[in-house]
Structure 1
């Protein structure tokens, strides 16, 4: 049984790594399953791709489609062309397994289905309701053509059922990104900025910003950062800058003696900072999951979230994108009254094993892929 594992962007690598481990374990025990790792090349910067493979112990991809950059349409087309060629020349797998909600997820799902290869979607069913986000379109398109749905929460299950998906094709398994977090937590490593700045545990704040609503308008981005600086009570602000944000920051010219704008960090270094921080300010969805499990207060600068469990159960609060919301949230943080939260159901480090068990034991009971 050959499974294509699709990875193309930084969030994918964290989600695919434990699945590779689980397949390798099952292969050793039963010899009934193997994988073909396909890197689409969506993220081609070393810090955004290569370092993650090394740190997370991901093997060299069997194939790299080399899609590179370009517009949404150009990148989608390049991935589809590359993956179609691979399927036609190297053979079709039993299953195409896609993760998350990036362009690679949608593009490979479409390509696989058109060549009669069934699709499984890990992290299926999450919804923000915000169609201005490319990720939301990717989620909706992918789930509309998926055969088997692996979900992270009961809310995701509800979203799929409400859209007409049969319950027996939905498998609530947990969160593979948390598998990765828990496995590598003992290996978190101190980045250079720790000693360079003289950071101390619980005496600094980590921030990340990359979404268009926050970084594509100069005045908006400047106002957000200024509010964070003004209300941080002179604590160091560690800001690993996403390439998208870096371009805008260069034109704004904003600076402050407690604002440390650094290059993107590797997985182990970034989570070292998060785990020891007082709080995180972000517009990333994945980071809200990690802070929930690590028990770190998190402020999300978005008007919506596809991960409501991080708010209802975890340490995350949704502030919106209005800079005026930052001051009251920071005051609440410094008052020591931030909620403690809890770890959501099945976020226990065993998700990938559940997925592989289902692939081996349950999916063969369905009709085999039609390869005519």
Structure 2
């Protein structure tokens, strides 16, 4: 049987259809050197609902449709202000389906959530209880690639308040052999979630590659691959949440290195391991939790030679290959590479906190050869 000349795409939601129509109208106006704002697209939506082809848009609440138009308005505003590129759609097959409801589009009473145009409340298994007397302002219903449905509710949490001040400060060096190395000497094991499911994932992807495009069996195989990816991502996120919460609760100041992960993953040898370590996600969690609880996160310049700088005497080594995990300085101090880097990051972060200056890479050894040359030149007649 020949492969059908089409590629299966998931069915569009009404919110996506409304957004596509509004986007098409804006793009057509842009090619004519005109601009269409939110009020105009909202009026167009009312007209589109009255047509026979788009009458099905009346079956859902108008709130998610209006929200997609508002998001589109924000995207075009950023484009016209030259803050972003021209808006574009995400992949239908890969993106997360979602619908956003504001207060007029849902009812939340006695722990039960009812969306507009729904006869009964949603059957929800809560991941955690909502704060007492919480009043959600926005509800987002979404479905991930694995077919799982989620409801996220935006509300104020009075329990999130700044913690008591602490005098502790810690330097954090990220890595692959160990996920984190702290300036205290503690090393956090890298769980390598993707590696644990690599065999299962490879088998599922081979099975997916054998299926005919557009067939029901291919869709089942795609869901199996998505479920494995979701399992990996869930375990990784859960571990990072627990780790970052502990670090923020135990320390007042946290010093990290400002790494360009987007550039580092171009290394084909290490890209898979770097992506699995999720350094960017770790930093994001650390920063927003520090903002919640009144902590401070300091990012040190990525060119700061934290691994080559002796934390005892300040001497900078010329070059230390990644394979060298322990080295001895000329002063006689033997360093663990990662612990030494974490100590140097902590010292640099304290300098930033004290002086308010940025941390720049040290180009020469204090009191070393360059300093001696400067001293000689000053003494020459």
Pick the TM interval, shorter chain. Answer: under 0.3
Greater C-alpha radius of gyration: 2
Between Structure 1 and Structure 2, which shows a larger proportion of helix residues? 1
So what's the TM-score if we normalise by structure 2? 0.25
* Higher RCO (CA < 8 A, seq sep 6+): 1
So what's the TM-score if we normalise by structure 1? 0.25
